[in-house]
Amino acid sequence: MTNEKVLVIGSCGQLGTELVESLRGIYGESHVISTDIRKNDSVIFETGPFETLDILDESKFKEILQKYKPTQVYHLAALLSATAEKNPEFGWKLNMDGLFNVLNAAKEGQSIKRVYWPSSIAAFGPNTPRIDTPQYGAMDPTTVYGISKYAGELYIQYYYNRWGVDTRSLRYPGLIGYKSEPGGGTTDYAVSIYHDALKTQHHNCFLEKDTVLPMLYMPDAIKATLEVMHAEASKIKMRMSYNLAGMSFSPEEIYNEIKTHIPDFTIEYNSDYRQQIANSWPAVIDDSNAREDWGWIPDFNLEDMTTDMLLNIRQLYSLGS
């Protein structure tokens, strides 16, 4: 029987839904408490405790901490790049004040022993090398989301150095999964494209055809997140956030890969404000620190991911092969 209690904040998003399922498989259903600002149609509400929580509501957060006394917190609630650009002030408030509420609770010696908080490739900027983007280098993010991720990285390191809060973090590339809706990110075309391929056989892409971005299939994202959280503290040498990579591709490359399964699939390119965001991000990430420190190796490339995504989305829509 485990003594661990895990609290997931922002559990209805792309990552949270799948992370809660995996954590419940490890720690037991009643040991993983999912929270979000509102419920959606996710299966996680039937498989264990759920609390409604706006992470900006500090007193409700404290009530939940009192009630469950979590030992680990995964704080995933944030506005992503494209959504935050529509409301930059709120993007900053949610992304930073939410993080401070979690870090301060951990610092104040509540039950929390370890905190996971995701960063992103958005923490990089136009002066970062786009190919083999190093762990350390120029970081000049141009979006409010990216600025909040870079500032958050510095703060989680500060709380570790100054107060010993055991913070762990990964710089996610674009995450691709089939279990939940895209969440307002610039990389999310790579989720919608699979749904469109099966539903309408046509995709209207908001990025240009040759915009290469780093991406990661959800099973790999979950694997990396659990590995970094479960690694011995001595192996975590990076207290800002680890570079993490799976694959890199352009809209035209993913389109061509899907076309090998669905020959009638068509695409058009109509880039919008998200093109500028994508242009400021890396194309290929060097994740050698994660590989060396805690043994990171991804399992999926574009081909494997495409086969798996199409199979699972077909099942979701109950379509024949």
Cα distance between the two ends of the chain: 43
Q: Centre a 10 Å sphere on the Cβ of residue 5 and count the other Cβ atoms it contains.
A: 20
Kindly state whether residue 172 participates in binding ligand AKB, applying the rule CB under 6 A.
yes
Contacting ligand AKB (CB under 6 A), which of 91, 125, 141, 174?
A: 174
Q: How far, CA to CA in Å, does 231 sit from each of 4, 217, 227?
A: 15, 21, 6
Q: Footprint of ligand AKB on residues 186-205 (CB under 6 A)?
A: 186-187
* Whether the Cβ atoms of residue 185 and residue 265 lie closer than 8 Å to each other: no
Record the tokens describing residue 154, joined without a space.
């510095």
- Binding range to ligand AKB, per CB under 6 A, among 97-105, 179-187, 262-270, 289-297: 179-187
Name the catalytic one among 68, 74, 145, 160.
145
Annotated active-site residue 145? The verdict is yes
Kindly state whether residue 123 participates in binding ligand AKB, applying the rule CB under 6 A.
no
Kindly state whether residue 121 participates in binding ligand AKB, applying the rule CB under 6 A.
yes
Q: How far, CA to CA in Å, does 190 sit from each of 18, 79, 159, 206, 300?
A: 18, 18, 35, 10, 15
User: By three-state DSSP, how is residue 205 classified?
Assistant: strand
User: By three-state DSSP, how is residue 258 classified?
Assistant: helix
Kindly state whether residue 133 participates in binding ligand AKB, applying the rule CB under 6 A.
no
Kindly state whether residue 91 participates in binding ligand AKB, applying the rule CB under 6 A.
no
Residues 6+ apart with CB under 8 A from 290: 170, 224, 228, 242, 243, 244, 296
Kindly state whether residue 251 participates in binding ligand AKB, applying the rule CB under 6 A.
no
Kindly state whether residue 215 participates in binding ligand AKB, applying the rule CB under 6 A.
no
- How many chain residues bind ligand AKB (CB under 6 A)? 12
Give least dist CB 35 to ligand AKB, A.
Answer: 21
Kindly state whether residue 120 participates in binding ligand AKB, applying the rule CB under 6 A.
yes
Place of tokens 């109509």: 270
Contacting ligand AKB (CB under 6 A), which of 7, 65, 80, 238?
A: 80
Binding residues vs ligand AKB (CB under 6 A): 80-81, 120-122, 145, 172, 174-175, 185-187
